Structure 1
Amino acid sequence: MAGIITGFAIILSVIAVGLLLAKFKVIDDDRQRLVLNRIAFYAATPALLFTVVANSDPSELFSPVIVVTFLTTIATAALYCIISAIFFKKDVATTATGAAASAYVNSNNIGLPVSIYVLGTGAYVAPVLVMQMVIFAPMILGALTSGDASKSRGAQIWGAVKGAFLSPVVLASIAGLIVCVTDFEVPVAVMEPATILGGASIPLILMSFGASLPSTNVLSSAPDRTSIITATAIKIIAMPAIAWLIGTAFGLESTLLYAAVILAALPTAQNVYNYAATYRKGEILARDTVFLTTFLALFVMLGIAAIFGR
């Protein structure tokens, strides 16, 4: 439990720095704020993932945790879709946004620091990141483009898959994986700069998120409020419970089960909002769920830590 408190204290402190920078107009608009994201996405985060994966124990990368996470994601998204079909009756694209908000975990912006500070390693997050970008992102985009006549759905999905494979974070993870499984010794002149650069990833991302908070009005849209609350509840309560059930069924031992449940308790990925905003489907639903789960996840993780005696 102390690890979670320490980890979130670090995370929230850096978010607060971003908030203050926005309040005092050091970061004056979204264009300036997004520069931090771009630096992180194209340089710092790939460097961090490469060093984390390259220095990992292969047994962590190929652990049953990734299987449990995959099945948990499918089951959680299906749960939202069933509830939506019965009570909300939204179109396919908006329903897909809600399902993604319920099940697509923030394995990068929040997942990396939480994994490093809470689980003691970032190795469990790397395969989740790749799985989401290569498997689930194309599925989400396919649903979001179901009414887009400019390109066929197949072309949209293929573009998403190709883009995922060529993403800097995925390429860096793959490179780190090759180093890890082959036990290749990376020259110090390569590894040390990557380590230094990777150290900038988490602060950049968290400060950017903090700088976005002054312009956020949560639950202000009455038509979306019920969907937002449902997606939030599923994400922070149902998904960890589903992970625990599936992990227990698979016979995961305590440490692996704890890792699977903690990963399931991660907040909604900001990528979900990016997708929704791009295709103008379920934007408010995605935005508010990302915001709420980011802060409520702390209390859920503390509860999980207490249950597991950590």
Structure 2
Amino acid sequence: MAGLISAMEGFCVIGIVIAAGYLAARLRLGGPQAQYVFNRLSFFIASPCLMFAVLAKESIGAIFHSSLIVAFGSAMLVGVVFLVLNKMFFHMKAGDATIGALNSLYVNSNNIGLPVATYILGNPALVAPILLMQQLLFTPVALTTLDILDNGKVSAKQILTQPLRQPLLLGSLAGMIVSIISSNVGFFVVPSFLFDPISMIGDSAVPMILRAFGMSLCGTKPMQDKEGRAATITVAVLKNAVMPVIAFLLGYFVLGFRGPELYGCVVLAALPTGQNVYNYAARYNVGMTFARDGILLSTLTSPVFIAIIAALLS
């Protein structure tokens, strides 16, 4: 029970930061471009530094844990399910559908995942495989799609060089390289006078994303888009309810997980959609309302599903 309460406190912390962003926009403290500036700084500078700092200090063994198979399989399946449902019922354009798929499968593995993994599961390193999967696979694929749609053309060169234009991926790869080198030589190879400022900049990423998300709520009424309401509810159900069920089935029947290992996979699958999805939508100016509403609804309902999972499996 104490771990569950601590995890709920993590949700409270996030809500307060979002509320601070909303209040700043309400009072017009940052000017009309504040939300745009926060999004750009986070996407190009702070978030890559965060991924480098997290992965550089993480062991490769933890990053490539077998739970990565469960995380990948459950995420892929719910993403495909949304795209099928969109084809059948919602008929969104390609850019909005890409954001919808991300809303369905993208896990908030950092600012909610870390406290959940720490206080409920007792091992913060459990989120490392999810960080790796999202930054090395799902994010590049989604951003490549959005980039191609934004430019209006497709070329082999553009596809092959797309990862080189994704700061998050570059930061993640650099962190993994440092982790491998450090494990081989027996000590952390980046001196503190270089690592500390990178880590400090990275620490600003999540607050900036959350404040920008809060600012986006000012002057708008979530869930007021009647045409997109069904799709928004669908992505929240896929993320918070369907994805944990798939994770349980894969972990239990395919990989033979039991006990804490199975419990951890299912709890992490029930995490809400990451605020990064809104950051990506804002970067390409596509599906922003859809992304915002999906993240908000998923974040509000996720604690309920995590509590149910804790009651059933812990």
Instruction: Tell me the residue number matched to 2:159.
Output: 157
Q: Tell me the residue number matched to 2:293.
A: 288
> How many equivalent residue pairs?
308
Contact conserved, 2:39 with 2:283, CA < 8 A, in 1? Answer: no
Q: Evaluate the alpha carbon distance shift between residue 46 and residue 221 of structure 1 in structure 2; reply closer, same or farther with a 3 A threshold.
A: closer
Contact 1:141 / 1:156 at 8 angstroms: preserved in 2? no
The equivalent of 1:227 in structure 2 is: 231
Q: What is the aligned partner in structure 1 of residue 24 from structure 2? A: 21
Alignment of 1:37-48 (within 5 A): 37-48=39-50
Q: Determine the structure 2 residue equivalent to 1:10.
A: 13
Question: Is 1:260 matched up with 2:262?
Answer: no
CA contact (8 A) 1:138 1:160 kept: yes
Contact 1:11 1:113 in 2 (8 A): no
Q: Give, in whole Å, the separation in 2 of the partners of 1:129 and 1:285.
A: 23
Instruction: Extract unaligned runs of 5+ from structure 2.
Output: none
- Pick the aligned partner of 1:208 from 190, 212, 217: 212
- SS at the partner of 1:124? helix
Distance between the aligned counterparts of 1:216 and 1:33, measured in 2? 14
**Against the structure 1 CA distance between its residues 37 and 115, is the aligned structure 2 distance closer, same or farther, given a 3 Å change threshold?**
farther
1-side partners of 2:91 and 2:46: how far apart? 41
What secondary structure sits across from 1:217 in the alignment?
Answer: coil
Alpha-carbon distance change, 45 to 173 in structure 1, aligned in 2, over 3 angstroms: same
Letter in 2 for 1:15: I
Pick from 240, 243, 247: which aligns with 2:247?
A: 243
> Counterpart of 1:79?
81
Deviations 1:12-37 (A, max 9, x none): 233333333333332333x2234344
2: distance between equivalents of 1:125 and 1:226? 30
Deviation at 1:64, TM superposition (A): 1.2
Q: CA deviation at 1:117?
A: 5.6
Q: Is the 8 A contact 1:64 1:252 kept in 2?
A: no
2:103 is aligned, of 89, 92, 101, to: 101
The TM-score with structure 2 as length reference comes to 0.80
CA distance in 1, matches of 2:66, 2:275: 26
Deviations 1:22-58 (A, max 9, x none): 33332333x2234344444455444444443343344
Separation in 2, partners of 1:16, 1:242: 33
8 Å CA contact retained: 2:59, 2:179: no
Query: 2: CA distance between counterparts of 1:88 and 1:283?
Result: 16
Q: Considering only aligned residues, what root-mean-square deviation do their CA atoms show, in Å? A: 3.3
Q: CA deviation at 1:4?
A: 1.0
Q: Distance in 2 between matches of 1:20 and 1:69?
A: 36
- Structure 1: any 5+ residue segments left out of the alignment? none
Q: Which amino acid aligns with 1:207?
A: R
Q: Percent identity?
A: 36
TM-score (norm 1): 0.81
Equivalence for 2:132: 130
